[in-house]
Amino acid sequence: MLLAATMKTFTLDVEYECDFALFGLVSSTRDYTLAWALNRALRLRLVKQPELLLNLLSHGRLVFTHYLYATETLTFRLLRNRSIAPSTLKKPFLAPDMKEYDYLLAVSNGSGALADDALLQQLMALDVVQYACQFDPNSLKYKENFTI
């Protein structure tokens, strides 16, 4: 006598809510040069952090450079969008739906001179930035990649 066992499959759906402003930057410069330019222009102190690692089960891992400036009221994260480690993926990006952008800048609680519109103007004025654009992080398909 043979018994057939049935197993139920459960899927966990998690909805992430992003509470930061996100800017895409096009810049052919090195990450440390861009961080230095942002530090000078915005009076920040972005500091290099350990690389951000995304382990993808069947595709290996992606590695992204990461700079951080944080106070009690303000946080800036500068992230390289393309993985610095070799990958077999066609799109080895932190935000594959924003692959045109070399860097991503996430800003939490910006106000005054660092409010979204004013900040976008300051980013566009930098010599090392060819183009900058603001995005709604909640509209991104891979927004869970930003939950650091």
Q: Are 116 and 135 in contact (CB under 8 A)?
A: no
pLDDT at 148: 63
Q: Are 23 and 137 in contact (CB under 8 A)?
A: no
The string of pLDDT tens digits covering residues 12-65 is 555 556 678 889 999 999 999 999 999 999 999 999 999 988 887 666 788 999
Q: Is 141 helix (H, G, I), strand (E, B) or coil?
A: coil
Please report which confidence band the pLDDT of residue 89 belongs to, taking 50, 70 and 90 as the band edges.
confident
Look up residue 69 and give its two tokens: 């400036």
Please report which confidence band the pLDDT of residue 97 belongs to, taking 50, 70 and 90 as the band edges.
confident
